[in-house]
Amino acid sequence: MKPKAFVTRPLPAAALGRLASRCEVAVHPEDGALQPAQLGAACRDVEGLLVVGGRVNEEVLKDAPRLRVVANCGVGYDNIDVAACTARGIVVTNTPGVLTDTTADLAFALLMAVARRVVEGDRLVREGRWQWSMLWGADIHHQTLGLYGFGRIGQALARRGRGFEMRVIYHDVQRAGAEIERELAAQFVDQETLLRESDFLSLHVPLTPETHHLIGARELTLMKPFAFLINTARGKVVDEEALVEALKSHRIAGAGLDVFEHEPHLHPELAKLENVVLLPHLGSATAETRLKMALLAVENLLAALDGRRPPNIVNPEVYA
């Protein structure tokens, strides 16, 4: 008898077909997050759970006694209570690597859009209000690109910045190797230097208790008044209330945001501001990347159900 698997959102046909070849599969047909009670009910007899943007917490796990693996279709896994899964012997996996360049592309697109006021310009052209002297923006070339977090995506953004002859500085809890710093001409600096010297500050850190509100009122005050903040990491890394005040008062020049503190809900003031570009969490949203993510999540899930160690395990201690 095939093991049962539940998928929280529709996935590309190739990924679902691969999963269905080995499992009895049920898929939530709507592109929206299930509430914990709904997800728990859906997983009552399930051994494998493939999560696309939903929360897996204690409420879900207590209703899923047969669950053996939670395969997250994404790099970040702050939506999953990993400790609770580990305590129950449930394997948790994610999908790193396959979305690195795609997310870096989007981060740089946000950077360019907010600096050159692309969204405002598009609207003015559509409204027939075309004036050559309008919408002076900020240069990108030869400016300082600051990276808070220097993992795969941070380093990929550094490569893009080098193409614009930008000076690259970064801060991370762990300094990169000398070879990587030479390749990317990237300079390791302390947190305060990063904030003070960046013309564009891009965030690439995971959401942890230590990074919650990593950027708040104090940090925004340290930034240049003509600096821009780019966030494609996690919404809760930024104190959104403090950011709104900084944008309204022009304490910083602008922001490009793909993630939000209370996603999918938006701070009511953000939509009113001209100096911010807002996207609905599109970091990995290309057909090629989403397919790679889905296939990797499926392979992680199948490996765990087969009793094999998945290639992208988050909680290896579960095997101890």
DSSP string covering 208-266, please? -TTTTTSB-HHHHHHS-TT-EEEE-S-GGGB-HHHHHHHHHTTSSSEEEES--TBTTB-
Q: What is the pLDDT at residue 43?
A: 95
Q: What is the pLDDT at residue 31?
A: 85
Strand partners, 168: 145, 186
Tens of each residue's pLDDT in the chain, 320 residues: 899 999 999 999 999 999 999 999 999 998 888 888 999 999 999 999 999 988 999 999 999 999 999 999 999 899 999 999 999 999 999 999 999 999 999 999 999 999 999 999 999 999 998 877 778 999 999 999 999 999 999 999 999 999 999 999 999 999 999 999 999 999 999 999 999 999 999 999 999 999 999 999 999 999 999 999 999 999 999 999 999 999 999 999 999 999 999 998 999 999 999 999 999 999 999 999 999 999 999 999 999 999 999 999 999 999 98
Alpha-carbon gap, residue 255 to 150, rounded angstroms:
20
Where are the alpha helices (H) located in 150-199, listed in sequence order? 152-163, 178-184, 191-197
Active site residues: 234, 263, 281
Alpha-carbon gap, residue 95 to 88, rounded angstroms:
22
Q: Is the pTM of this model over 0.85?
A: yes
Helix or strand run (H / E) with residue 291: helix 287-305
Residue 229, CA atoms < 13 Å, CB-side half-sphere: 32
Domains of the chain: 4-96+287-319 (3.40.50.720), 100-278 (3.40.50.720)
Q: What is the pLDDT at residue 42?
A: 93
Q: What is the pLDDT at residue 116?
A: 97
In the numeric block, which tokens belong to residue 120? 């405002």
